[in-house]
């Protein structure tokens, strides 16, 4: 398919790590990226609240931007919303789940650490992934919302608090872990800082490249998008116009988005944000 449309959604800018992988593998694609900052961060929401939020928000976005593929670029949301969302739409939906299987396959020490949000590590979905694909490995789980905020700070151009990163990752200093899974799409944004905070022998894995490959495969199998409007470029949407959202604009522009706009859920139109391109 030529010039496919993607709709990528996360509560913040973490999904940009997924968008970068898709852009690299499918450079002719165009994306509507939605930062649902009106419900940021997803990791702190009750499961049913999160599901209802996405089921109500996505139909209007899908109607207006006619994506060929929807990507739920949030591990927490993906653990709970994929089945109900797929029942609601005919558009292919890709979720992001922690790289449990490849991590377990490459671990020599048979000890793997999953770094994710508290909302992700406590899900039964993760238990099942480990049961099915853990390959006999022991899994240490570290949950942190602090690193989500540090990633957002980095996109704003603010200093990252390395002391927080070292504190969160301190359990790795005395463990036999040889593979660290970044189980939140925000965390690859902090890859350099995370790398510097853990022993050098630990391998770091995330799901970004696998998501891009899955999208590429789906596009091969999709029929021609007759009658669908092609996005003219890459659009970034916020669901709440806040001071923090405006502070993110400069960092977002560096990712190559053509427009940054504000979208009011349940409204019928998208509004150009003051000062946005």
User: DSSP assignment, residue 92?
Assistant: -
Tokens found for residue 258 = 């053509």
Instruction: Give dist(CA 160, CA 123) in Å, integer.
Output: 28
Residue 184 in this model has a pLDDT that exceeds 60 = yes
CA 194 to chain centre: 17
Kindly report the number of other CB atoms within 10 A of residue 157's CB atom. Answer: 11
Residue 18 in this model has a pLDDT that exceeds 70 = yes
Residue 274 in this model has a pLDDT that exceeds 50 = no
Which comes out higher in pLDDT, residue 241 or 230? 241
Residue 137 in this model has a pLDDT that exceeds 80 = yes
Instruction: Give dist(CA 173, CA 127) in Å, integer.
Output: 24
Instruction: Give dist(CA 117, CA 269) in Å, integer.
Output: 33
For the chain, the average pLDDT equals 91
Tell me the domains of the chain and their CATH numbers: 5-95+209-272 (3.40.50.1860), 100-206 (3.40.50.1860)
Cβ proximity of 96 and 76 under 8 Å: no
> What is the predicted pLDDT for the residue at 266?
60
> What is the predicted pLDDT for the residue at 237?
96
**44-67 exposure pattern, b = at least 16 Cβ within 10 A, e = fewer:** bbeeeebbebbeebbeebbeebbb
Query: Coil, helix or strand for 1?
Result: coil
Instruction: Give dist(CA 190, CA 185) in Å, integer.
Output: 10
Q: What is the pTM of this model?
A: 0.90
Window from 29-38, 73-82, 137-146, 258-267 with minimum mean pLDDT: 258-267
- Catalytic residue positions? 74, 184
């Amino acid at each position: 398919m030529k010039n496919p449309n993607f709709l990528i959604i996360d509560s913040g800018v973490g999904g940009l790590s997924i968008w970068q992988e898709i852009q690299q593998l499918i450079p002719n694609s165009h994306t509507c990226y939605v930062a649902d900052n009106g419900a940021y961060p997803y990791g702190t929401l009750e499961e049913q609240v999160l599901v209802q939020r996405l089921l109500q928000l996505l139909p209007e976005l899908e109607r207006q931007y006619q994506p060929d593929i929807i990507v739920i670029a949030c591990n927490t949301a993906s653990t709970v919303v994929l089945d109900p969302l797929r029942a609601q739409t005919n558009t292919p939906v890709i979720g992001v789940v922690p790289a449990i299987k490849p991590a377990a396959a490459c671990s020599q020490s048979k000890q793997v650490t999953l770094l994710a949000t508290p909302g992700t590590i406590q899900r039964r979905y993760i238990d099942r992934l480990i049961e099915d694909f853990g390959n006999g490995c022991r899994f240490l789980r570290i949950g942190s919302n602090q690193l989500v905020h540090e990633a957002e700070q980095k996109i704003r151009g603010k200093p990252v608090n390395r002391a927080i990163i070292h504190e969160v990752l301190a359990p790795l200093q005395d463990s036999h872990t040889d593979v660290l899974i970044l189980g939140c799409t925000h965390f690859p944004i902090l890859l350099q800082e995370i790398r510097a905070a853990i022993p050098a022998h630990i391998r770091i894995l995330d799901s970004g490249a696998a998501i891009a490959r899955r999208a590429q495969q789906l596009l091969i199998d999709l029929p021609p998008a007759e009658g669908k409007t092609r996005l003219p470029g890459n659009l970034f949407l916020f669901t709440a116009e806040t001071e923090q959202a405006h502070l993110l604009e400069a960092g977002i522009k560096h990712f190559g988005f053509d427009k940054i706009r504000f979208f009011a859920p349940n409204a019928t139109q998208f509004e150009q944000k003051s000062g946005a391109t």
